[in-house]
Amino acid sequence: MDVKKMEGDVARWINHLLPKEERDPMNTCIKLTEEVSELMHAIHTGDGNIGEECADVLILLLDVAYLNNINLQQEFLTKMAKNYGRQWKRKNGALKHENDD
């Protein structure tokens, strides 16, 4: 499934419940923070459906992109091209690029 179709599916679903002009991107980001917390809890404790929590986060990310007229697919490709050119190291079980310190 491509990103634009996913974004369109999210927009059609949520616009039916709460039209774009009634949504505030900041409130969507607050909800996104709550969902990331639930995802972290599911990963840390094994208590919950990690895939479902990932989907909740993705849905909100797609809506933030829609509300801000962002071409998320292009942003992803641009960021990945930048990431490929960076030097990476491991730190505390995660990857960080060299100039993050």
**The domain defined by 1-70 carries CATH number 1.10.287:** yes
For the chain, the average pLDDT equals: 92
Sign of CA dihedral 8, 14, 16, 20: negative
Span 28-52, average pLDDT: 95
Q: Which of 59, 53, 55, 52 is nearest to 38 (CA)?
A: 53
As a whole number of angstroms, the distance between CA 4 and CA 6 comes to 5
pLDDT at 101: 52
Sign of CA dihedral 6, 8, 9, 10: positive
Judge whether residue 81 has pLDDT over 80: yes
How much is the pTM? 0.84
List the domain boundaries for the chain: 1-70, 72-101
pLDDT at 35: 97
